[in-house]
């Protein structure tokens, strides 16, 4: 029997790779076990149709936190980030289109076509967000405090946060307190009068969530994602070569630092002996002994599938069963014959440049809310909210010459369907998405060479996301910070000695930032160095 | 020249009267000005139809703080609360869910639906009791200002923090869930029976423009659990003689303490001199001076209607305008010739003596909300029915009955048309909804009164018809109610205070805002008269 490994990391998603890197840096010899043939988890580039390469799932970077990118030297490992402008293109039914840029003034100038007032307010929002985000940023990078006896270090950190909080000044302090539990629709309406702009802002609060813009707490989701990029337009950074290029760079960085990555290694069980992890067992039957096991899988999968519940106790198990992680996002990848002309850009004569960033389909907050309504009753939206990108515009390497790939997040598509299953409804969902796009780009349907529809069921089956939830669990007030995944278990440690979690089911749990992995590695190193 | 009064209280609602009573008992010379011909604000009994006395708006009592009942000796002033036994939920299937105050009976009934839920129900009751105990002192406290370093405020925050720390893990877990989750999600963690979850979640949406699946509603659920009668949590009651009797009892206590009360004396303006409130002007032009003005009406009326522009800075005005009212409920009061006959439990019986809840499923509740989101009253609304005449015969002629139906949702802002055109169709919807369970209803109605959010605004001065003087949503609670930084009953105008439901701890016939505001006023006017 082989000698016990220092650390085995279950799952080679971006957080697993980031954790591997930092653990290796800390002088440990982590082994990453990835079930699939390629590392990267939800951030992978795959050839979904001969000659057409797309970011199969996630199509935009979180973005990755700058300090993490620096530590991992992702540039050196071949990552090139593209930041096309405009960042966001949002066509309106009336043929106009809103375009937001990295530069505030340019964005404001574009908003002017809709409203003088909003154009004036937009820079104000950006400034305010930037101030508040600086505070939230500190919370992202910290390990949530122990609820029973916080250590002095944590208290210091909280105190610093408190200081910074006070430095915000009274108005901003109250803004933070008031905004957190607010519905993003109210937030957007307080700032802007243009429905389209409201919808664009609101969309950030509901992405990946089982919430509509009128759901209380959706503003918190927006604020949580904002630290990654305080720009109200949201982030617009894409890795050249698709998302896979980013995780490949991470893998390279981890390997260079001394981590080992094994693909095609499907962990079937996390082994526990007298309340402590002893290693993992692969589906192949192979057993790998380890002093510590770090799970990049989502909490439900980790605690209810990979670990035998007897080691956890009924109370923990029941709470974990109540952990909400029913996904609501579907992913559609299109192989296109050419760039679809959007009516708002002057149809065929129009230029494609405006489509290089994110394309937002969802003209009004009520449209977003109605899309959500369907999901509450177990149906997908006939008129979904869409975020699309055509990465091949700025990165021709993804598709054959002149051809293009289009990547679309579609909301809402509930994991649990009221009638039938996703195999029966996959096509219908694909049709609804294409139909919705066709309203703004009438020629699109005729340009589709191939269509790949990935439903929440597929996300669960092929990518191991329980419930198909892209964030490893609902980003709701009751599952954040000290409560992610469970109150008292937000410190990357688990009831089982030597078992840790490092995925988005742990704080901060927002998108592709790598922060959960970095935070977890910090805590794990502390324990293992003892 | 000294002022006519020490304090003028604007509005003779329950909070205004409680406020006045406490001030007078402390030796202040107090005048209460009520716009209508009857005291009580939204807690009134009125004889709408000869012989039929209705608790026109607010119809159940239970949140009234026990210390107020004690300190104002309300029983001596005629307050008598009759227990309301249980909640009866008829189901379309012909089945029903009937929870009674007798816990054992309720459990037996729930076991009919689910053995697991019957066991969970026991645990749930215990947990909610613990949660109420935790929240109680917070309801009884003037909210601290989290943005200052004032030791007094920090102590309060610390106090809350320490109490939380002291909770056993399970209670901590429940508490954070209650503060953050939706009623439906929260109850999903406890129960499996849909009709049980639906009926329980109902108390999470009352007075809000939220659905049972909206985060934050779990807190409102708790808010309604705070109900106390003789110290027993979660017991609701009716007031003998209708809810107005409660207002009259507080009124008598106030008068006895020396308060002068003027009805049909609508206030038109609050006089402000050099940033200091100094009196009021009545609609009839009379001017009355006072050293302190305490307003129990909502912030919209207080700051945007009663105070001349220029006395408040724009930022504050913005904050006040931002405060959300969003009335979402209506009321239908029926004079009945006989008792309604429910298909699922025919004939008269104890099930009619409690609350009757039209809340058959969680989806039913959520769909009712969906209609409202887009500016229509619910096609099939949630209805909470009581028949007070069964417990208190004095409110109806012999053999006849009054039936009070609280209806949600009825959005103040309609997508098309006005409430004046839709009032009757709204009334019909409610009758049709109930008739699906009690078909004889249509034939026994002698008279009906339909109150839309617009009527609540016109008649009772509730802006946008919100029964809590502002939504009980998380961003409008505690130190954020009604305006961030102004949650401590005082206002940017010196000597002007708020004492209504728009201040912490908020709506319901609780009286806490009136009492806390009085204590604040006394504290700040100490020394000088």
What confidence tens digit (pLDDT) does each residue in B5-36 have? Answer: 999 999 999 999 999 999 999 999 999 999 99
- Per-residue model confidence (pLDDT) at position A154: 66
Among candidates B185, B373, B480 on the partner chain, residue whose Cβ is nearest the Cβ of A324? B185
With CA atoms as reference, the chain B residue closest to A191 would be B322
Among candidates B176, B366, B484 on the partner chain, residue whose Cβ is nearest the Cβ of A178? B484
Among candidates A170, A215, A369 on the partner chain, residue whose Cβ is nearest the Cβ of B215? A215
What the block records as the tokens of A71 is 């530590």
Helical spans, DSSP H, in B140-215:
151-166, 169-180, 183-188, 194-202
Where are any strands of DSSP class E within A110-213?
A: none
What confidence tens digit (pLDDT) does each residue in B221-266 have? Answer: 887 777 654 455 445 789 999 999 999 999 999 999 999 999 999 9
What confidence tens digit (pLDDT) does each residue in A207-261 have? Answer: 999 999 999 889 988 888 877 667 888 877 899 999 999 999 999 999 999 999 9
Q: Minimum mean pLDDT among A128-132, A158-162, A408-412, B226-230: which range? A: B226-230
- Per-residue model confidence (pLDDT) at position A228: 66
Best of A376, A418, A474 to disrupt the B interface (most B CBs within 10 Å) is A376
Give CA separation, B377 vs A213, B409, B417, in Å: 20, 6, 12
With CA atoms as reference, the chain A residue closest to B363 would be A377
What confidence tens digit (pLDDT) does each residue in B214-223 have? Answer: 988 998 888 7
A174 vs B188: CB contact, 8 Å cut-off?
no
B147 vs A488: CB contact, 8 Å cut-off?
no
Give CA separation, A109 vs A105, A121, A201, B420, B458, in Å: 6, 12, 17, 43, 44
Q: Bridge partners of B447?
A: B335
Among candidates B147, B180, B473 on the partner chain, residue whose Cβ is nearest the Cβ of A173? B147
- Per the document, the length of chain A is 530
Put simply, whether B381 touches A (Cβ < 8 Å) is: no
Put simply, whether B363 touches A (Cβ < 8 Å) is: yes
With CA atoms as reference, the chain A residue closest to B191 would be A322
- Per-residue model confidence (pLDDT) at position B230: 45
Count CA atoms closer than 13 A to B309's CA, side-chain side: 2
Phi and psi based region of residue A73 (left: phi greater than 0; alpha: psi -120 to 50; beta: remaining): left
Chain A residues within 8 A of B181 when measuring between CB atoms: 476-478
Whole-number mean pLDDT of chain B?
Answer: 92
3-state secondary structure (DSSP) of residue B62: coil
Among candidates A181, A315, A376 on the partner chain, residue whose Cβ is nearest the Cβ of B216? A181
Chain B residues within 8 A of A324 when measuring between CB atoms: 185
B215 vs A174: CB contact, 8 Å cut-off?
no
Chain A residues within 8 A of B149 when measuring between CB atoms: 166
Report the C-alpha gap between A515 and A471 in whole angstroms.
Answer: 13
What is the DSSP-derived secondary structure letter of residue B188? H
Mean pLDDT along residues A190-198? 96
Output the DSSP codes for B102-137. Answer: SHHHHHHHHHHH-HHHHHHHHHHHHHHHHHHHHHHH
Q: Bridge partners of B89?
A: B97
Put simply, whether B474 touches A (Cβ < 8 Å) is: yes
Q: How far apart are the CA of B490 and the nearest CA of chain A, in angstroms?
A: 17
Whether omega for the bond prior to residue A63 falls within 30 degrees of 0, making it cis, is yes
Chain B residues within 8 A of A148 when measuring between CB atoms: 165
B147 vs A174: CB contact, 8 Å cut-off?
yes
Chain B residues within 8 A of A377 when measuring between CB atoms: 363, 366
Q: How many secondary structure helices (H) and strands (E) does chain A include?
A: 17, 18
Provide ipTM, 2 decimals.
0.90
Chain B residues within 8 A of A315 when measuring between CB atoms: 170
The helix (H) or strand (E) run that includes residue A333 is strand A329-336
Q: Bridge partners of B383?
A: B358, B407
Where do we find the tokens 């009955």? B401
3-state secondary structure (DSSP) of residue A439: coil
The helix (H) or strand (E) run that includes residue A523 is helix A515-529
Question: Which of A124-128, A145-149, B226-230 holds the top average pLDDT?
Answer: A124-128
- Per the document, the length of chain B is 529
Q: How far apart are the CA of B145 and the nearest CA of chain A, in angstroms?
A: 10
With CA atoms as reference, the chain A residue closest to B174 would be A487
Chain A residues within 8 A of B215 when measuring between CB atoms: 181, 211, 215-217, 476-478
- Per-residue model confidence (pLDDT) at position A1: 55
Report the C-alpha gap between B511 and B529 in whole angstroms.
Answer: 25
What confidence tens digit (pLDDT) does each residue in A38-75 have? Answer: 999 999 999 999 999 999 999 987 778 889 999 999 99
Chain B residues within 8 A of A217 when measuring between CB atoms: 180, 215-216, 474
Residues 185-214 of B with CB under 8 A from A: 185, 188-189, 210, 213-214
Judged on CB neighbours under 10 Å (0-12, 13-18, 19+), A398 is buried
Among candidates B214, B215, B363 on the partner chain, residue whose Cβ is nearest the Cβ of A377? B363
Q: How far apart are the CA of B503 and the nearest CA of chain A, in angstroms?
A: 16
With CA atoms as reference, the chain B residue closest to A213 would be B214
- Residue B154 reports pLDDT greater than 50: yes
Report the C-alpha gap between B161 and B370 in whole angstroms.
Answer: 37
Contact between B197 and B182 under an 8 Å Cβ cutoff? The reply is no
Determine phi and psi for A361, rounding to 5 degrees. -115, 115
Give the residue numbers in A contacting B (CB under 8 Å), as ranges: 147-148, 166, 170, 173-174, 177-182, 186, 190, 211, 214-217, 315, 319, 322, 324, 366, 369, 373, 376-377, 476-478, 483, 486-488
- Per-residue model confidence (pLDDT) at position B2: 81
Report the C-alpha gap between B311 and B321 in whole angstroms.
Answer: 16
Among candidates A190, A366, A483 on the partner chain, residue whose Cβ is nearest the Cβ of B322? A190
Determine phi and psi for B335, rounding to 5 degrees. -95, 120
Chain A residues within 8 A of B185 when measuring between CB atoms: 324, 478
Chain A residues within 8 A of B484 when measuring between CB atoms: 174, 177-178
Whole-number mean pLDDT of chain A?
Answer: 93
- Residue B528 reports pLDDT greater than 50: no
Q: How far apart are the CA of B320 and the nearest CA of chain A, in angstroms?
A: 13
Q: Between chain A and chain B, how many beta carbons pairs sit less than 8 Å apart?
A: 89
Put simply, whether B171 touches A (Cβ < 8 Å) is: no
Q: How far apart are the CA of B469 and the nearest CA of chain A, in angstroms?
A: 18
Instruction: Spell out the residues 6+ positions from residue A194 whose beta carbon is closer than 8 angstroms to its own.
Output: A98, A111, A114, A115, A118
- Per-residue model confidence (pLDDT) at position B233: 45
Question: Which of A213-217, A403-407, B151-155, B231-235 holds the top average pLDDT?
Answer: A403-407
First-last CA distance in chain B: 13
- Per-residue model confidence (pLDDT) at position A156: 67
- Per-residue model confidence (pLDDT) at position B142: 87
Q: How confident is residue B63, by pLDDT bands cut at 50, 70 and 90?
A: confident
- Per-residue model confidence (pLDDT) at position B152: 83
First-last CA distance in chain A: 26
B169 vs A488: CB contact, 8 Å cut-off?
yes
CB-based burial, A292-330: b 16+ in 10 Å, e otherwise: bbbbbbbbbbbbbbbbeeebbeeebbebbeebbbbbbbb
- Per-residue model confidence (pLDDT) at position B251: 97
Best of A168, A224, A487 to disrupt the B interface (most B CBs within 10 Å) is A487
Read off the pTM: 0.93
Chain B residues within 8 A of A365 when measuring between CB atoms: none
Chain B residues within 8 A of A476 when measuring between CB atoms: 180-181, 215
Q: How confident is residue B137, by pLDDT bands cut at 50, 70 and 90?
A: confident
- Per-residue model confidence (pLDDT) at position B500: 96
Best of A168, A181, A184 to disrupt the B interface (most B CBs within 10 Å) is A181
B473 vs A214: CB contact, 8 Å cut-off?
no
- Per-residue model confidence (pLDDT) at position B159: 84
């Amino acid at each position: 029997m082989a000698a016990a490994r220092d650390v085995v990391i279950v799952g080679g998603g971006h957080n697993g790779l980031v954790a591997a890197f930092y653990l290796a840096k800390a002088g440990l010899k982590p082994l990453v076990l990835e079930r699939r043939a390629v590392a990267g988890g939800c951030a992978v580039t795959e050839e979904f149709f001969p000659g057409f390469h797309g970011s199969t799932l996630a199509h935009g970077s979180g973005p990755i936190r700058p300090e993490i990118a620096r530590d991992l030297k992702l540039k050196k490992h071949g990552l090139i980030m593209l930041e096309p402008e405009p960042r966001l293109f949002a066509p309106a039914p009336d043929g106009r289109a809103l375009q937001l840029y990295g530069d505030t003034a340019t964005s404001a100038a574009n908003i002017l076509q809709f409203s003088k007032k909003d154009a004036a307010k937009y820079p104000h929002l950006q400034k305010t967000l930037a101030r508040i985000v600086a505070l939230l940023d500190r919370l992202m990078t910290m390990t949530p405090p122990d609820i029973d006896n916080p250590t002095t270090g944590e208290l210091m950190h909280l105190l610093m946060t408190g200081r910074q909080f006070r430095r915000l000044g009274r108005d901003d302090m109250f803004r933070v307190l008031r905004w957190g539990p607010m519905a993003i629709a109210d937030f957007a309406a307080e700032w802007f009068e243009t429905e389209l702009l409201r919808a664009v802002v609101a969309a950030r609060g509901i992405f990946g969530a089982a919430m509509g813009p009128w759901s209380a707490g959706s503003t918190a989701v927006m604020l949580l994602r904002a630290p990654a990029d305080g720009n109200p337009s949201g982030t617009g950074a894409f890795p050249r070569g698709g998302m896979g290029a980013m995780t490949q760079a991470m893998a390279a960085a981890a390997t260079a630092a001394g981590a080992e990555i094994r693909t095609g290694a499907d962990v079937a069980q996390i082994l526990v002996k007298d309340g402590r992890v002893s290693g993992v067992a692969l589906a192949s039957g192979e057993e790998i002994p380890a002093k510590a096991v770090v799970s990049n899988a989502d909490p439900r999968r980790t605690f209810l599938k990979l670990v035998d519940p007897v080691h956890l106790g009924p109370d923990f198990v029941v709470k974990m069963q109540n952990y909400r992680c029913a996904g609501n996002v579907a992913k559609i990848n299109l192989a296109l014959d050419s760039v679809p002309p959007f009516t708002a850009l002057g149809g065929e004569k129009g230029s494609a440049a405006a489509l290089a960033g994110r394309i937002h389909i969802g003209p009004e907050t009520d449209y977003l809310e109605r899309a959500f309504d369907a999901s509450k009753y177990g149906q997908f939206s006939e008129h979904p909210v869409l975020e699309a990108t055509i990465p091949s515009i700025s990165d021709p390497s993804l598709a054959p010459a002149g051809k293009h790939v289009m990547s679309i997040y579609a909301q809402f598509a509930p994991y649990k369907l009221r009638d039938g299953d996703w195999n029966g409804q996959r096509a219908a969902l694909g049709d609804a998405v294409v139909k919705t796009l066709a309203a703004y780009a009438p020629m699109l349907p005729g340009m589709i060479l191939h269509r790949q529809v990935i439903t929440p069921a597929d996300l669960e089956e092929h990518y191991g996301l329980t419930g198909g939830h892209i964030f490893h669990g609902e980003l709701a007030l009751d599952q954040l910070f000290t409560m992610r995944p469970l109150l008292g278990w937000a410190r990357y440690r688990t009831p089982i000695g030597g078992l840790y979690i490092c995925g988005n089911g742990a704080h901060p749990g927002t998108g592709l930032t790598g922060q959960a992995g970095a935070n977890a590695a910090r805590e794990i190193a502390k324990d293992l160095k003892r | 020249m000294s002022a006519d009064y020490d304090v003028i209280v604007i509005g003779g609602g329950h909070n205004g009267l409680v406020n006045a009573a406490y001030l007078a008992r402390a030796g202040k010379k107090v005048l209460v000005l009520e716009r209508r011909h009857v005291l009580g604000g939204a807690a009134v009994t009125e004889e709408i139809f000869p012989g039929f006395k209705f608790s026109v708006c607010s119809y159940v009592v239970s949140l009234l703080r026990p210390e107020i009942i004690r300190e104002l000796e309300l029983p001596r002033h005629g307050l008598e609360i009759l227990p309301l036994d249980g909640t009866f939920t008829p189901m379309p299937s012909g089945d029903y869910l009937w929870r009674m105050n007798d816990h054992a009976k309720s459990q037996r009934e729930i076991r009919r639906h689910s053995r697991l839920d019957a066991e969970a129900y026991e645990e749930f009751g215990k947990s909610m009791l613990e949660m109420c105990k935790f929240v109680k002192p917070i309801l009884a406290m003037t909210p601290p200002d989290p943005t200052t370093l004032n030791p007094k405020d920090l102590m309060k925050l610390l106090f809350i923090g320490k109490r939380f720390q002291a909770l056993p893990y399970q209670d901590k877990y429940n508490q954070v869930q209650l503060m953050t989750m939706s009623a439906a999600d929260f109850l999903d963690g406890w129960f499996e029976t849909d009709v049980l979850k639906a009926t329980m979640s109902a108390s999470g949406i009352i007075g809000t423009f939220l659905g049972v699946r909206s985060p934050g509603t779990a807190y409102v659920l708790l808010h309604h659990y705070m109900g106390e009668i003789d110290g027993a949590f979660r017991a609701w009651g009716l007031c003998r003689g209708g809810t107005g009797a409660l207002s009259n009892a507080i009124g008598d206590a106030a008068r006895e303490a020396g308060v002068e009360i003027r009805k049909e004396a609508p206030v038109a303006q609050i006089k402000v001199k050099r940033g200091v409130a100094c009196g009021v002007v009545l609609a009839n032009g009379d001017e009355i001076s006072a050293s302190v003005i305490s307003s129990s009406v909502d912030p919209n009326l207080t700051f945007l209607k009663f105070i001349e522009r220029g006395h408040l800075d724009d930022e504050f005005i913005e904050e006040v305008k931002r405060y959300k009212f969003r009335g979402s409920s209506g009321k239908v009061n029926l004079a009945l010739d006989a008792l309604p006959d429910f298909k699922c439990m025919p004939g008269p019986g104890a099930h009619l003596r409690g609350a009757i809840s039209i809340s058959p499923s969680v989806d039913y509740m959520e769909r009712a909300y969906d209609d409202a989101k887009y500016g229509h009253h619910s096609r099939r609304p949630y209805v909470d029915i009581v028949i007070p005449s069964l417990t208190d015969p004095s409110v109806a002629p012999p053999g006849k009955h009054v039936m009070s139906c609280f209806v949600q949702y009825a959005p103040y802002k309609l997508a098309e048309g006005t409430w004046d055109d839709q009032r009757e169709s709204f009334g019909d919807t409610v009758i049709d909804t109930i008739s699906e369970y009690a078909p004889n209803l249509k034939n026994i109605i002698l008279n009906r009164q339909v109150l839309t959010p617009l009527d609540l605004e016109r008649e009772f001065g509730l802006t946008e018809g919100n029964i809590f003087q502002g939504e009980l949503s998380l961003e409008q609670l505690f130190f954020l109610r009604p305006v961030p930084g102004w949650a401590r009953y005082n206002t940017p105008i010196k000597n002007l205070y708020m004492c209504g439901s728009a201040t912490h701890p908020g709506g319901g016939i609780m009286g806490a805002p009136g009492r806390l505001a009085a204590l604040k006023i006394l504290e700040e006017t100490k020394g000088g008269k």
